[in-house]
């Protein structure tokens, strides 16, 4: 069958990927660690867990405004716990082959995880370490603000407006939108359908990537 162009046939200078929930699934490990933390602080675990995805740990904790809690210290301790728990980490279907089809200087990972945790999760999932990895420590303001996507694009020598962003969580989607990039939503880890104006993709086996003579990236949905 013929492939259907995404983004009205646009081409892109580079692709920018969130990590957790977008290139790999870490939800089992993350929710184990955060559930224990939430119980210690008397939070409603079921209500709290949906708020952790797509944002930096320090921002999640700071937003709660818990008395006597040092967000920086707590975030560091949570990261250490997550570093020790790689159980259930796995790639989103099709992600390894999709990344392999891209030139190394045409894609980046933009994650709310710290560098050390991002590297360990990528290794656990069998995914390559990109030339450009923007992590929690690299920006003063995390998602949903667009700083991280602008920084990744600049490291690749392009503008965010000439990129497509792949995200799964509302904060990351908002960051991609605010950066001026085109946005695609990966739904592989979604438990409920998401209403979005952006292309909604279950996994990377649904997408075809092609490079033109100028090495610009064209994306199509496989029929």
Would you please indicate which residues are annotated as catalytic (active-site) residues?
Answer: 18, 20
Q: How far is CA 123 from the centre of its chain?
A: 16
CB 218 within 8 A of CB 201: no
Report the distance separating Cα 82 and Cα 32, nearest Å: 9
The tokens for 219 are: 């994306």
Query: Taking the CB of residue 117, how many other CB atoms lie within 10 A of it?
Result: 24
Report the distance separating Cα 71 and Cα 191, nearest Å: 29
Q: Which residues pair with residue 221 across a beta bridge? A: 4, 207
CB 165 within 8 A of CB 23: no
Report the distance separating Cα 26 and Cα 40, nearest Å: 22
Angle at 124 between CA 120 and CA 129, to 5 degrees: 60
CB 90 within 8 A of CB 24: yes
């Amino acid at each position: 069958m013929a492939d259907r162009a995404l983004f009205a046939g646009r081409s892109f200078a580079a692709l920018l990927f969130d990590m957790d929930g977008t290139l790999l699934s870490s939800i089992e490990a993350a929710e184990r660690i955060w559930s224990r933390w939430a119980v210690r602080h008397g939070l409603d675990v079921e209500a709290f867990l949906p708020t952790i995805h797509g944002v930096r740990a320090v921002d999640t904790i700071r937003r709660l405004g818990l008395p006597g809690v040092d967000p920086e210290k707590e975030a560091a301790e949570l990261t250490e716990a997550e570093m020790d728990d790689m159980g259930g980490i796995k790639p989103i279907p099709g992600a390894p082959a999709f990344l392999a089809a891209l030139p190394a200087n045409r894609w980046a990972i933009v994650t709310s995880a710290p560098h050390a945790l991002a590297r360990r999760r990528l290794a656990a999932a069998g995914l390559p370490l990109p030339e450009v990895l923007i992590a929690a420590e690299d920006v003063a303001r995390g998602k949903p603000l667009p700083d991280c996507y602008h920084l990744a694009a600049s490291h690749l020598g392009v503008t965010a407006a000439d990129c497509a962003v792949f995200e799964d969580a509302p904060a990351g989607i908002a960051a991609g939108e605010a950066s001026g990039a085109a946005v695609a939503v990966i739904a592989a880890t979604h438990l409920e359908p998401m209403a979005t104006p952006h292309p909604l993709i279950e996994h990377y086996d649904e997408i075809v990537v092609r490079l033109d003579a100028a090495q610009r990236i064209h994306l199509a949905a496989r029929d």
